[in-house]
Chain A
């Protein structure tokens, strides 16, 4: 029920945010977010992307030849205008609000696609499918993701739910909180997400909170050089350390709010499956 409402909200974003350009196919797209860039690539619309942000460029070597228009927080309006895009796709945020207003003042179509919740992401895939005339591919991708969630939920049913902390960054510590797509993945995989009690999708957390919440498993998607198991092993009172259940998850595959949520979900489900249990 809630999911459906969110889906409708997502669809509304298209209608309101872009004044209906989604109905018209776009030939020249500027993507200002790596997660949207990845979705466009997955839909086979690589040839329609004419400009990207710095992070997208680092993430997608195949787009290295494209002009970049700046970082997530400081894209250059002039660089965007120079590319004469049919539409600019971006993820809404405080920094982007001003940029969006200025682009719209210059007559550039802007499509805002939020990327926090699972339903927002699925809606974004469909909206982008519409935009680049790959509706079928988009529907298939969404169906595969939904199927993966259902299968994972079925597999996890009846297992004792482990208490999990999903660390996105170690110092300062950021964890997966409530409401994000990663929270949905943890739930689908049968986990109790300890970070959900902190509020917000990606809250900062204190070390004391982590120790007091006594997680059975720590998933670590940080990009630090030090090995996750050795980093967390210093906190010997953590049940996760005692049980040897510190799992490093590759951030590129799991934490990107992109088109392959099914793969990320499987990585999480694998990580949470108790050692020795049959898959």
Chain B
């Protein structure tokens, strides 16, 4: 493991923060309309505050950029935590079924929204409830023994994911046409439905999750050696594992409820950054939060700009970008292992 100094943490954080700032600026300056960098800048600094350019920059682009940054950070951060918890670099919040639970809740609300007269606004809270439900189930089944077994956690997640997908398909089959289209968009992940209150939740849960992760960074480093070694080195393994699982589920629940199933961010970003900054969680956690945020903001800017007025779901882009990168990373890692 590389030696980590405060200076190194500071340098990595500053570099990634600069990258995030660049992506945010790009996100505010680019879009499908003719409001380019110059007009966006003018609108940002108060030119014609009731005009369409101001509406576009302040009320359409800015909330999406903010939500994209929060969701990206939450997903990447929870990826880091799950990978540390399960000692498996391929672990992902989605693998554990938390996202499946969120999607199930959201789609249930979507199909009931019409008959009950609730409207689309009922969906994000229900998705969040589903994520929390999945976490509780995960706890009840995988955490009922004296200690978490990574295998049992993963298997519980896989089974719950299968159950959730079956439930989603079932509900989608029962629901009609227009619900069908939004179910599709929702499942693939999109930032187009931004709501102020959702941004608040995601921000709160992200702060909580990153806080937990930074506090437990040392434990996370030791957990990488295996739970028995970590225990011998003074880590309260069970307690820390529970805290990490809870924090992660909160972050994923909030992210999925706000943006649907945006895949690969929790897998790609931690992996990519581990190659750059090393495996120490005191650097990796803030780096993943910033990197994930920058990545999703960039992807969403492309998603809403590429096709003119029409929108691509951002989840399609992250998956398109993420899949090949992931395979490349895998290959590189395998070669390194073989070469060493």
Contacts and interface: CB of A to CB of B under 8 A. Distances in A.
Contacts of A172: 181-182, 185, 190, 192-193, 311
10 contacts: A197-B309, A203-B310, A204-B185, A206-B31, A207-B192, A208-B35, A208-B61, A212-B32, A212-B35, A225-B117
Interface string A179-204: 00000000000000000011100011
A237 B311 contact: no
Contact of A208 (B31, B121, B178, B181): B31
Interface stretch (A37-45, A67-75, A266-274): A67-75
B56 interface: yes
Contacts of A204: 185, 310-311
For the complex of A and B, the 5 pairs showing the least CB-CB separation, nearest first, are A209-B309, A212-B33, A237-B55, A237-B52, A225-B119
Interface string A224-253: 111000000011111000000000000000
B192 A198 contact: no
B33 A211 contact: yes
Contacts of A170: 120
B310 A208 contact: no
A71 B192 CA distance: 28
A168 B52 CA distance: 22
Interface in B76-106: none
Interface in B310-329: 310-311
B177 A209 contact: no
Nearest to A206: B311
Given A172-B185, A174-B181, A237-B54, A206 B310 contact: yes
A172 B189 CA distance: 12
B46 interface: no
Contacts of B118: 225
Interface string A201-222: 0011111110111100000000
A224 B310 contact: no
Interface string B177-207: 1101110010000101100000000000000
Contacts of A237: 50-52, 54-55
B56 A72 contact: no
A54 interface: yes
B177 A72 contact: yes
Contacts of B339: none
Interface in A251-266: none
Interface string B26-59: 0000011111000000000000001110111001
Contacts of B311: 172, 204-206
A203 B55 CA distance: 22
A133 interface: no
A226 B119 contact: yes
B335 to A, nearest CB: 42
A135 interface: no
Contacts of B33: 208-209, 211-212
A208 B180 contact: no
Interface in B101-138: 114, 117-121
B271 interface: no
A169 interface: yes
Given A171-B182, A238-B55, 18 more contacts: A172-B311, A173-B192, A197-B309, A198-B310, A204-B310, A205-B311, A206-B32, A206-B60, A207-B192, A208-B32, A208-B304, A212-B52, A224-B120, A225-B118, A226-B121, A236-B55, A237-B51, A238-B52
A213 B309 contact: yes
A206 B190 CA distance: 11
A223 interface: yes
B157 to A, nearest CB: 28
B10 interface: no
B176 interface: yes
B173 interface: yes
Nearest to A173: B192
A28 interface: no
A174 B310 CA distance: 10
A124 to B, nearest CB: 18
B226 interface: no
Contacts of B61: 208
A96 to B, nearest CB: 13
B190 A198 contact: no
Given A197-B309, A206-B32, A71 B174 contact: yes
Contact of A73 (B51, B54, B180, B309): B180
B120 A171 contact: yes
B211 interface: no
Contacts of B60: 206-208, 211
A55 interface: yes
Given A205-B310, A211-B56, A71 B173 contact: yes
